């Protein structure tokens, strides 16, 4: 059966514009939306196997569906100029690719898509519609599939909807989407909906009554009662919204199925556009369009002989640039990807059977990693001179890392256990003479350029910076691991209704594994110049090489060192927590008069607000809200509520930490957690498996958990914590003379603020006034609103507004600085730290008021929090380097936001204190000094 793909042009361009990092060609033309559009179009064409294609655009952006509603829909936010200038470009590119463009005066693209889709279905065609607009779901039918790109955890993937899929996800039939939008509205399409009716309520109503007309007939039966009132009072708004949401499927637009045939998309004209737009790698798709100028597709060559491998490593060493990636699983090298020229990647495969015989893990290869003695002068040899095994690959890779002037990897930290003495930033003292710029981590570079994503694999880098659409690891291997794929023993796990249930052939699976390994090295090599150019353009190249890359080594050192946790004491601590949990449980049951599941929000809500009639109960569809914010407000006046909060804390302590930590203790008695560099948008380091940065310390029993973290024998812990670093950054970046003076005079900043905000002499500042001033000080850093401050201090919004207003009167430079941060971010679409780190803020362009407000708070906070994150990274890098360079055995074991924890040899205590003081205090040059507090102890608890 013939199949046609219809694309909603403006919708996909809009999604690409906000989802892809900013790009410009050498002529200054913005290009990110164009190449994002092309990538997703080519991907969906391939996935859908469509043989016909057309793209619909509004004739202008936007056009109104019906003129009678133009006054209302005219309130749409104007398109950003950077996106507007790309619309004619994508149209010209599509014309060059021989792809028909559909437009008609007076009708929006979805009207055209709906009309053509229904017409094609009537002619017996299979139809797929690609759009980011959920309105299109109303068109879903047996032979019309809706393809919606969705961002899940900041990663965009395409979801597909036939009628059963719409019903499963939204609980309604496709045609009922119209009535759903009529009730709930859609801010992205400026459909007003009915005030006070949200998605859950609207879905429940339409699921029960199917249309707004039927719902209106039964308005007295609607639940909740506020929905009855809203529909009565705003029925005209619901009717108008339904008309706005209804796609016109009877547009008299001329369209020929034959003209939409996918023919020679990769035309010479299209190839010329790729060159002009500087989509160098995307031009590979136009092979043959301009002979002699296109690049051949990458090929993957498997290598299993040492002689051939020796030759490849020798060539790589001489090459001006190279890409390499050791593929590791369960502490064992499986293979090595290598790329250094042409369009070829080599996959050097270790003999897995021999590896298993030798159990050649990183600890056997490098016994010093486990604390065992090793002879550094004895070469690593397994007696198998001709074997291409893990030990050989590690030795060759290590040599390449030590000497190559331009080596790029996709994931450096994961390979460092096998790469001894390759941290040139330690060897050369971190001098900016090129020595510490030899190795690039392409994944880290991708993160720096767009920190809003969740993944930075080879496919992400290829798509975002090379214009290449290549299959991700998950697409190639499905659910099986790389080790399984290399063995050829696992199925891909990517079956659909139309695929057979048989396993993928072993040889085919191995070839897919070779592609994954080859792409890791090839994309690393291919992307270096582009990534460096982009970081240079955005002013982040120094930030990358002087902060981000050295941080990789420091985080690895902390992970390898680990921290000792006492297992038996951890069990005793769990038992102690259980005693308190049991006590609280009995007390709570006694006060309620019956037993119930305290961890059940629904049951707890009924107890608190239904039976005990406590104030502040807000009933939702699933019951009363018992969120922490709700209970925190009640706790001061109702001791029973505090017991519930304590119960929650103790049960979390027990499950997450007292019991949860035990699974992470390794044979050496230490927890070797993971420190993540590419998770937060502000540049802060995060901790996982386990999260050692989030151990509760407000409760006595929570603080006691730190007693179980101890140094090894002969050592103490030295803890250094920055004092009010974000407030000091605020003072320095804002240049406010009053705030700077307060810090220079080493006065109590919160007391000074209280004196100035509340107009009382410094000597008369009470603890309560100081506490309120402290909340304002830190609230300003985080862009707090009147509402947020009123909640924090349990005061009225009017009082909170007065506090903030008086704060800005006391520190006028801060007000000017914050206003400038917001206006700059609105103009540039990103915020910037003192060291040049950028944080994109797409929320500032949102049509949703709450999202824009959030974006403004981000614009206020990100430069301050990001600068503080940069400073702590600089400090930890310098501390780690000096400990190693000066030959000390003391080691950095934890970073907890603004705090560094050193496992310190007792005879090195003074040297460690000096290093911490010198490096942390001088990590940045600000108008105010960076101050730290230092303490020592026999446990982490004692240092606090």
pLDDT digits (tens, 9 = 90+) for 835-865: 999 999 988 887 778 888 889 999 999 999 9
Q: What's the pLDDT score for residue 43?
A: 84
Cα separation values, 232 from 26, 177, 219, 243, Å: 58, 21, 7, 18
Mean pLDDT of 762-770: 88
Confidence of residue 674 (pLDDT cuts 50, 70, 90): very high
Q: How much of the chain, in percent, has pLDDT values that exceed 90?
A: 51
Mean pLDDT of 176-203: 85
Mean pLDDT of 315-330: 94
Q: CATH fold of 299-376+384-562, please?
A: Nucleotidyltransferase; domain 5 (3.30.420)
Q: CATH fold of 3-260, please?
A: Rossmann fold (3.40.50)
Q: What's the pLDDT score for residue 321?
A: 94
| Residue 370, SS3 per DSSP | helix
**745-763 pLDDT per residue, tens:** 777 888 988 888 888 888 8
Mean pLDDT of 372-393: 58
Look at 170-184, 204-218, 455-469, 831-845 and tell me which has the smallest mean pLDDT: 455-469
**Predicted confidence (pLDDT) at residue 607 exceeds the cutoff of 70:** yes
Would you state the structure tokens that stand for residue 247, as one six-digit string? 């796609």
**Predicted confidence (pLDDT) at residue 660 exceeds the cutoff of 50:** yes
Contact by Cβ (8 Å): 102, 57: yes
Q: What's the pLDDT score for residue 806?
A: 87
Mean pLDDT of 462-484: 85
**Predicted confidence (pLDDT) at residue 393 exceeds the cutoff of 70:** yes
Which DSSP category does 99 fall into?
-
Confidence of residue 780 (pLDDT cuts 50, 70, 90): confident
Q: What's the pLDDT score for residue 281?
A: 62
Rounded CA-CA distance 737/814 in Å is: 9
Which residues are within 8 A (CB) of 802 and not within 5 positions of it... i.e. 6 or more apart? none
Q: How much of the chain, in percent, has pLDDT values that exceed 70?
A: 88
Rounded CA-CA distance 106/129 in Å is: 21
Which residues are within 8 A (CB) of 771 and not within 5 positions of it... i.e. 6 or more apart? 750
The length of the chain is 944
Mean pLDDT of 86-107: 92
Q: What's the pLDDT score for residue 352?
A: 56
Q: What's the pLDDT score for residue 144?
A: 95
Domain ranges of the chain: 3-260, 299-376+384-562
**Predicted confidence (pLDDT) at residue 64 exceeds the cutoff of 70:** no
Q: What's the pLDDT score for residue 629?
A: 79
Confidence of residue 518 (pLDDT cuts 50, 70, 90): very high
Which DSSP category does 655 fall into?
I
Look at 119-128, 292-301, 387-396, 643-652 and tell me which has the smallest mean pLDDT: 292-301
Which position has the token pair 């550094």?
376
**714-729 pLDDT per residue, tens:** 999 999 999 999 999 9
Whole-structure pTM value? 0.71
Beta strand segments in 180-331, E: 299-303, 322-329
Averaged pLDDT score across all residues of the chain: 85
Q: What's the pLDDT score for residue 75?
A: 45
Instruction: Write b or e for each residue in 796-825: b if 16 or more Cβ atoms lie within 10 A of its Cβ, otherwise e.
Output: eeeebeebbebbbebbebbbebbeebbeeb
Which position has the token pair 């402290």?
774
Q: What's the pLDDT score for residue 363?
A: 36
Rounded CA-CA distance 519/944 in Å is: 47
Ramachandran sector of residue 184 (left: φ over 0; alpha: ψ -120 to 50; beta: rest): alpha
Q: What's the pLDDT score for residue 77?
A: 60
**Predicted confidence (pLDDT) at residue 491 exceeds the cutoff of 50:** no
């Amino acid at each position: 059966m013939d199949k046609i793909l219809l694309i909603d042009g403006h919708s996909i361009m809009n999604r690409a514009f906000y989802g892809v990092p900013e790009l410009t060609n050498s002529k200054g033309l913005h290009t990110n939306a164009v190449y994002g559009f092309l990538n997703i179009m080519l991907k969906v064409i391939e996935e859908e196997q469509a043989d016909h294609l057309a793209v619909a655009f509004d004739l202008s952006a936007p056009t109104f569906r019906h003129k009678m509603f133009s006054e209302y829909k005219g309130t749409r936010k104007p398109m950003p100029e950077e996106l507007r200038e790309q619309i004619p470009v994508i149209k010209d590119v599509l014309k060059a690719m021989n792809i028909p463009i559909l437009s008609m005066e007076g009708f929006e693209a979805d009207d055209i898509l709906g009309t053509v889709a229904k017409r094609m279905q009537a002619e017996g065609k299979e139809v797929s519609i690609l759009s980011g607009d959920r309105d299109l779901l109303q068109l879903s039918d047996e032979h019309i599939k809706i393809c919606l790109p969705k961002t899940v955890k900041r990663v965009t993937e395409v979801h597909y909807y036939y009628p059963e899929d719409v019903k499963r996800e939204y609980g309604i039939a496709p045609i009922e989407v119209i009535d759903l939008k009529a009730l709930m509205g859609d801010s992205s399409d400026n459909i007003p909906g009915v005030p006070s009716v949200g998605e859950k309520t609207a879905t429940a109503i339409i699921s029960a009554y199917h249309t707004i007309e039927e719902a209106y007939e039964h308005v007295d039966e609607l639940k909740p009662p506020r929905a009855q009132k809203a529909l009565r009072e705003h029925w005209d708004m619901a009717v108008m919204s339904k008309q706005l949401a209804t796609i016109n499927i009877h547009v008299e637009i001329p369209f020929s199925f034959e003209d939409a045939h996918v023919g020679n998309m990769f035309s010479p004209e299209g190839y010329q556009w790729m060159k002009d737009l500087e989509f160098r790698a995307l031009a590979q798709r136009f092979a043959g369009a301009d002979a002699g100028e296109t690049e051949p597709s990458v090929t993957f060559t498997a290598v299993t002989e040492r002689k051939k491998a020796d030759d490849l490593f020798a060539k790589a060493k001489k090459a001006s640039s190279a890409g390499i990636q050791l593929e590791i699983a369960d502490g064992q090298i499986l293979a090595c990807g290598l790329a250094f020229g042409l369009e070829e990647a080599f996959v050097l495969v270790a003999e897995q059977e021999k590896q298993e015989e030798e159990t050649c893990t990183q600890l056997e290869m490098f016994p010093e990693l486990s604390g065992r003695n090793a002879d550094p002068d004895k070469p690593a040899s397994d007696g198998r001179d001709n074997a291409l095994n893990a030990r050989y690959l590690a030795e060759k890779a290590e040599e390449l890392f030590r000497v190559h002037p331009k080596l790029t990897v996709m994931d450096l930290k994961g390979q460092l256990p096998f790469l001894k003495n390759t941290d040139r930033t330690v060897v050369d003292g971190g001098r900016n003479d090129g020595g510490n710029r030899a190795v690039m981590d392409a994944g880290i570079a991708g993160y720096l350029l767009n920190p809003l994503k969740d993944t930075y694999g080879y496919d992400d880098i290829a798509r975002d910076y090379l214009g290449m659409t290549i299959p991700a690891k998950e697409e190639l291997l499905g659910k099986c691991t790389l080790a399984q794929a290399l063995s050829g023993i696992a199925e891909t796990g990517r079956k659909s209704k139309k695929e057979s249930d048989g396993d993928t052939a072993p040889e085919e699976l191995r070839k897919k594994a070779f592609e994954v390994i080859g792409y890791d090295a090839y994309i690393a090599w291919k992307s270096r110049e582009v990534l460096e150019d982009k970081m240079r353009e955005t002013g982040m190249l120094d930030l990358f090489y002087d902060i981000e890359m050295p941080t990789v080594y420091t985080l690895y050192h902390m992970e390898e060192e680990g921290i000792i946790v006492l297992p038996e004491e951890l069990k005793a601590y769990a038992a102690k927590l259980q005693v308190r949990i049991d006590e609280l449980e009995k007390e709570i049951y006694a006060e309620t008069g019956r037993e119930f599941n305290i961890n059940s929000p629904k049951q707890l809500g009924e107890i608190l607000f239904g039976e005990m009639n406590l104030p502040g109960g807000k009933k939702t569809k699933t019951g009363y809200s018992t969120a922490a914010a709700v209970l925190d407000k009640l706790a001061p006046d109702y001791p029973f509520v505090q017991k519930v909060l304590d119960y929650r804390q103790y049960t979390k302590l027990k499950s997450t930490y007292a019991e949860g930590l035990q699974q992470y203790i390794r044979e050496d008695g230490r927890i070797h957690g993971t420190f993540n560099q590419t998770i937060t948008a502000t540049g802060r380091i995060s901790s996982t498996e386990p999260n050692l940065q989030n151990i509760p310390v407000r409760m006595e029993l929570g603080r006691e958990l730190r007693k179980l973290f101890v140094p090894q024998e002969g050592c103490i812990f030295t803890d250094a914590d920055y004092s009010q670093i974000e407030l000091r950054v605020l003072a320095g970046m804002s240049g406010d003379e009053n705030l700077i003076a307060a810090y220079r005079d080493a006065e109590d900043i919160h007391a000074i603020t209280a004196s100035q905000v509340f107009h009382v002499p410094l000597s008369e500042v009470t603890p309560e006034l100081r506490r309120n001033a402290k909340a304002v000080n830190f609230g300003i850093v985080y862009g707090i609103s009147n509402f947020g401050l009123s909640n924090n201090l349990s005061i009225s919004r009017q009082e909170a507004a007065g506090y903030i207003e008086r704060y800005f009167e006391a520190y006028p430079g801060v007000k000017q600085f914050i206003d400038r941060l917001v206006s700059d971010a609105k103009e540039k679409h990103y915020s910037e730290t003192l060291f040049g780190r950028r944080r994109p803020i797409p929320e500032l362009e949102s049509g949703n008021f709450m999202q824009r407000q959030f974006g403004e708070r981000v614009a206020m906070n990100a430069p301050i929090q990001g600068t503080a994150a940069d400073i702590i990274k600089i400090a930890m890098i310098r501390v780690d380097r000096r400990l190693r360079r000066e030959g000390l055995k003391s080691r950095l074991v934890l970073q907890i936001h603004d705090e560094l924890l050193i496992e310190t040899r007792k005879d090195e205590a003074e040297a460690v204190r000096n290093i911490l003081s010198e490096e942390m205090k001088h990590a940045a040059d600000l108008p105010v000094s960076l101050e730290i507090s230092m303490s020592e102890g026999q446990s982490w608890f004692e240092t606090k």
